[in-house]
Amino acid sequence: MMDGESAVRAAVADCKAKGGEQCLESKPFVNGCGVVTLGADSSYVAYSATVDRANYLASEQCRQNGDHDCRFLISACAAPFRMQ
């Protein structure tokens, strides 16, 4: 199994290999969700315990930066993982 940093590097490399020009690198996460929101000028990433909360936070970042046309792009949630 890959560690978090290796997984992020692999995902970015895969994105670029498939023709991606704006591949985002983000931190790996557990026990929560990540959301990417696009504005007219930039993209915004947020993490939280739920996809709804992460979406709200990413949308708020977009609006607070004065961006407009903020819209949800994609989300991903990690399966719950019990830390011991």
**Count of domains observed in the chain:** 1
The overall pTM is greater than 0.85: no
Residue 58 lies in a domain: yes
Tokens 């504005």 correspond to 39
pLDDT digits (tens, 9 = 90+) for 61-81: 999 999 988 999 989 888 776
Name the β-bridge partners of 74.
36
pLDDT digits (tens, 9 = 90+) for 11-31: 778 888 888 777 777 666 678
Confidence of residue 5 (pLDDT cuts 50, 70, 90): confident
Residue 23 lies in a domain: no
The range of the structural domain enclosing residue 41 comes to: 29-84
DSSP for 5-70, written as a single string: HHHHHHHHHHHHHTT-SS-------SSSEEEEEE-SS-EEEEEESSHHHHHHHHHHHHHHTT--S-
Residue 79 lies in a domain: yes
Name the β-bridge partners of 27.
none
